[in-house]
Chains A and B, each alone.
Chain A
Amino acid sequence: MSGRFAASNKVALAGYAQSMVQRHADRPLGALAVDTARRAIADAGLELKDVDGIVAASLFPTAGSHAVQDGVSTVTAGWMAEHLGAEPRYVAGFQGIGQVSGAMALAVNTVAGGAADHVLFYRALHNPRGSYHGNTMQTIDGPQQYTAPAGYFGPLAMIALPYNEYLQRYGATRESMAAVLVEARKNGSRIPWSYWHGKPLTAEEYLASPTLVDPVCRYDCDIPVDGVAAFVVTSAERARDLPHKPVYVSGYAHSAPPPRRLPVHWPLDDIMDGGAETARRLWEHAGVGPDEVDLPQLYDGFSPFIWFWLEVLGFCPAGEAHRFVQDGRIDGDRPGGLPVLSGGGALGNGRMHGIPQMLECYLQLAGRAGERQRPKATVGVACQSSPHYGGAVVYSAEPF
């Protein structure tokens, strides 16, 4: 099966809420999630009794030795259903590739298929005390026994290898990444709920930061946080009767299963070849192409993902992204600049997975971005994770 999404632009976002993004919230994550969910429902002009579906992704994305506790370090859809105070008839958690894009697709399908009329969609992220990715394991079993005994472990090493592979292949240097960080932190500094609110970063500060796993320094990685965002997903028809301007879901794509490799081994060719297929699926599903997108919100949990998404989505040729990001071409303030990080991304907000991308699409396309409102925002893309191990959703201000 292929082609345009059968429910393209028939499902919409009707409201949202975003918690403060903090290093450590002063309340349990579950309580923060319930509060944020209730605010989103009210924002959409609905009451708890109207919510008859709950869909979420609840992966706790850490390599560290932390116990996963529902309501504390993660909030599953089932936990939310027990605590929200609504009586949903459909409750589902997403388990595939690409947490926010994948769960959003599940929420859209839930509405399109008639399983629920008003779906609560949310993502709750937690930063445990102690080292986020540090692990105290003494013995290594499973597939990691082929990598970790040599000291290959965790997501920084995972992104370092393809990042360096890119630098070597195209003669780039990490100096070219400064423009990405400066743009992400500039935009994040303007966002009241961001962890980095009021804290932009200069290229000099970025380049002075020592590398941890070459060529990755701390600023290339989104900072772990406590935070929750929630949205209400409903049919386009019902959304038009609610207080806010609907933002339509035009289509989505998941990455194909990646080649089977060693744990957290992402060769550059896997990323770019798989990403090309993700992009092909996305444009076909949504019925648009890169030329029609004026709000491409690229995923940036690690900074090199910006380069990779720019290329696979067709905003610049292969091998050119490290040059493309220079000279203001991704400066969202500049006329003609491609606003790939106008929402600050994860680098400019904190480790909210794909939420900053999705939220920026919603706020701009609904005309609710306040002082940050862009004069022209018609079609947005919210990307998630790596192009070969994630996904993306196309949003539109108008049905087409």
Chain B
Amino acid sequence: MTMTHQATGRPLPAPDESSSPYWEAAARHVLALARCSRCESLTIPPGQTCPHCGSTDPAFAFVPVSGRGTVRSWTVVRQSFLPGFDADLPYLLVDVELAEQPGLRMIGRLLDGPDAPVRVGAPVDVAFEDVAPGVAVPAFELGAARDGEAGE
């Protein structure tokens, strides 16, 4: 399921030198994360140094990831503190541990809706919201249970 919002009025990301590959991939509905060229660990968000090996020259390269993950927590947002979200309320956000690396966590919208049967340990797959022409925001949707990933 991919929802389409054209000109929602939601604030849009302002890609910069370090993040533009992330948003270019997202626009193609591909989740790509920063990988340190020294230790090959994935990081989100990429900063000035690598949080894993400490390199001050991590030369992050964005690489596609599976987009599969496990729900660690969630919340239903009923009041927004940002403009442009009121039409979406209530919406559900999931805190997801991605399959690629222990402790690699992302937060995104669960596109199954605010009443989705979410639980800790539920498998999810990346999905995308098209929020403006050429701009897609990574999100998630509930996936089928997978061996070794479902449950706590």
Contact = CB atoms under 8 A, between A and B. Distances in A.
Interface residues of A, number: 46
A169 interface: yes
Given A149-B131, A213-B79, A268 B45 contact: no
Given A143-B45, A161-B74, A148 B93 contact: no
Contact of B108 (A131, A136, A150, A160): A150
B77 A151 contact: yes
A138 B45 contact: no
B77 A157 contact: yes
B139 to A, nearest CB: 6
Given A133-B81, A161-B74, A214-B75, A262 B44 contact: yes
Interface stretch (B57-65, B82-90, B142-150): B82-90
Contacts of A262: 44-45, 105-107
Given A161-B73, A259-B103, A265-B95, A150 B78 contact: no
Interface in A212-250: 212-215
Interface string A131-168: 10111111111010111111111101100111011001
Given A138-B12, A149-B10, A262-B107, A162 B73 contact: yes
Nearest to A162: B73
B75 A164 contact: yes
Nearest to B135: A149
Contacts of A265: 95, 105, 107
B100 to A, nearest CB: 16
Contacts of A129: none
Contacts of A212: 78-79
A162 B105 CA distance: 13
Q: Which of A63, A215, A262 has the most CB of B within 10 A?
A: A262
B16 A141 contact: yes
A211 interface: yes
Interface in A98-154: 131, 133-141, 143, 145-154
Contacts of B67: none
Q: Which of B16, B95, B131 has the most CB of A within 10 A?
A: B95
Contacts of B103: 259
A376 interface: no
A160 to B, nearest CB: 4
Given A145-B19, A151-B91, A165 B73 contact: yes
Contacts of B81: 63-64, 131, 133-135, 153-154, 156
Contacts of A161: 73-75, 93, 95, 107
Nearest to A137: B11
A287 interface: no
Given A168-B120, A262-B106, A149 B11 contact: yes
Interface residues of B, number: 44
A267 B73 contact: yes
B27 interface: no
A136 B83 contact: yes
Interface string B20-54: 00100000000000000000000111010001000
Given A136-B83, A150-B108, A265-B107, A160 B19 contact: no
Contacts of B51: 259-260
A210 interface: yes
A145 B45 CA distance: 9
A150 B85 CA distance: 9
Given A262-B107, A267-B72, A140 B11 contact: yes
Interface in A152-203: 152-154, 156-157, 160-162, 164-165, 168-169
Interface in B115-129: 119-120, 129
Nearest to B103: A259
23 contacts: A135-B82, A135-B83, A136-B83, A140-B12, A141-B13, A141-B14, A145-B45, A146-B22, A146-B44, A149-B13, A149-B131, A150-B93, A150-B107, A150-B137, A152-B93, A161-B75, A164-B74, A213-B75, A214-B76, A215-B75, A262-B107, A265-B95, A267-B95
Interface of A: 63-64, 131, 133-141, 143, 145-154, 156-157, 160-162, 164-165, 168-169, 210-215, 259-263, 265, 267-268
Interface of B: 10-16, 19, 22, 43-45, 47, 51, 72-83, 85, 88, 91, 93, 95, 103, 105-109, 119-120, 129, 131, 137-139
